[in-house]
């Protein structure tokens, strides 16, 4: 699998500091071919030093990509699949399970470090995170908070992540509609985030990526004001797209969001698997 990538990150119209942070890493492996990892963090806008939290978590994932990923992919007795089909022989260990374990430990280590930092400096800081690792045509993704991961192909959009927010929990219970959630004063209140929760329980998603599919990671400042048509028409791309054209289209969407008066930081990463 080959990948084409573009990204944007902007402080938006109101905030003095961009508290979002993004990362894309690509590596070649003998066993799995090209491997790509993307991570997006949204430092909490209502909390002080959100940019510290998002940058710290990004740095931890960058270090993991260099040091932890080779261990997960090349360890002895690990199966070579990420799709949940595991070797049942004694001593075998699924690569997917190993990565999930390592990411859970990483996130909770950062959560504790940020919590200790906040208490020491009498401040609160936190961050959301969405991340995805593409290995061949398989992926493992992680989510904490209300940043999102979508797939998009032939103008068909699918949200892979599930928001960990107060309004989403009310929608799930049938107490609130999506339209009401968009106007709710609680729309930015999270059930958990890295740095401000006692213990973080990440959501993990696994699956397969077809060729000519886009994977889009974005903060709530990106997805909140876009209609379905603006999202799909603006970001759906053809198989022969070049990265420069991808970037131009994403920049157009960024300016559209700002023209609608979005007050939050705005960030997105688009990966086209081909």
Q: What is the pLDDT of residue 23?
A: 98
197-204 mean pLDDT: 94
130 contacts 40 by C-beta, under 8 angstroms: yes
Rounded to whole angstroms, how far apart are CA atoms 41 and 263?
Answer: 17
Q: What is the pLDDT of residue 66?
A: 96
Q: Which residues contact 19 (CB under 8 A, 6 or more apart)?
A: 42, 43, 44, 45, 50, 51, 53, 54, 127, 265
Mean pLDDT for the chain overall = 90
244-251 mean pLDDT: 97
Q: Is the pLDDT of residue 225 over 80?
A: yes
Categorize the per-residue pLDDT at 78 as very low, low, confident or very high, splitting at 50, 70 and 90: very low
Q: Is the pLDDT of residue 233 over 60?
A: yes
Rounded to whole angstroms, how far apart are CA atoms 186 and 178?
Answer: 13
Q: What is the pLDDT of residue 188?
A: 75
Categorize the per-residue pLDDT at 176 as very low, low, confident or very high, splitting at 50, 70 and 90: confident
Q: What is the pLDDT of residue 80?
A: 43
Categorize the per-residue pLDDT at 186 as very low, low, confident or very high, splitting at 50, 70 and 90: confident
Q: What is the pLDDT of residue 175?
A: 86
- Give pLDDT tens digits for 58-73: 999 999 999 999 989 8
Q: Is the pLDDT of residue 44 over 80?
A: yes
Residue 265 belongs to what domain range?
3-273
Q: Is the pLDDT of residue 89 over 50?
A: no
Assign residue 234 the CATH number of its domain. 3.60.40.10
Categorize the per-residue pLDDT at 181 as very low, low, confident or very high, splitting at 50, 70 and 90: confident
Cβ-based burial of 176 (10 A; exposed 0-12, middle 13-18, buried ≥19): middle
Q: Which residues contact 246 (CB under 8 A, 6 or more apart)?
A: 4, 5, 6, 237, 270, 272
128-143 mean pLDDT: 96
Looking at the structure of the chain, the number of domains it has is: 1
233-253 mean pLDDT: 95
Q: What is the pLDDT of residue 213?
A: 97
Q: What is the pLDDT of residue 91?
A: 30
């Amino acid at each position: 699998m080959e990948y084409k990538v573009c990204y944007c990150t902007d402080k938006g119209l109101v905030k003095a500091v961009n508290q979002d942070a993004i990362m894309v890493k690509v590596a070649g492996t003998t066993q799995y071919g090209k491997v790509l990892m993307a991570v997006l963090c949204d430092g909490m806008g209502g909390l002080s030093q959100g940019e510290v939290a998002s940058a710290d978590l990004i740095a931890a994932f960058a270090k993991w990509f260099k040091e932890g990923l080779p261990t997960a992919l090349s360890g002895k007795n690990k199966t070579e699949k990420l799709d949940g089909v595991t070797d049942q022989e004694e001593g075998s260990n699924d690569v997917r399970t190993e990565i999930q374990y390592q990411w859970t430990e990483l996130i909770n280590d950062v959560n504790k470090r940020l919590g200790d930092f906040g208490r020491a400096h009498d401040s609160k800081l936190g961050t959301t995170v969405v991340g995805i690792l593409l290995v061949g045509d398989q992926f493992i993704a992680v989510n904490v908070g209300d940043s999102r991961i979508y797939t998009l192909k032939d103008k068909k959009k699918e949200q892979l992540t599930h928001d960990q927010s107060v309004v989403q929990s009310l929608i799930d219970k049938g107490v609130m509609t999506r339209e009401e959630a968009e106007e709710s004063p609680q729309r930015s209140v999270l059930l958990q985030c890295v740095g401000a929760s006692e213990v973080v329980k990440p959501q993990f998603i696994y699956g397969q990526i077809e060729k000519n599919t886009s994977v889009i990671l974005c903060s709530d400042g990106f997805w909140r004001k876009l209609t379905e048509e603006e999202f799909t028409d603006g970001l759906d791309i053809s198989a022969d797209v070049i990265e420069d054209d991808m970037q131009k289209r994403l920049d157009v969407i960024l300016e559209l969001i700002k023209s609608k008066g979005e007050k939050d930081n705005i960030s997105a990463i688009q990966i086209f698997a081909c």
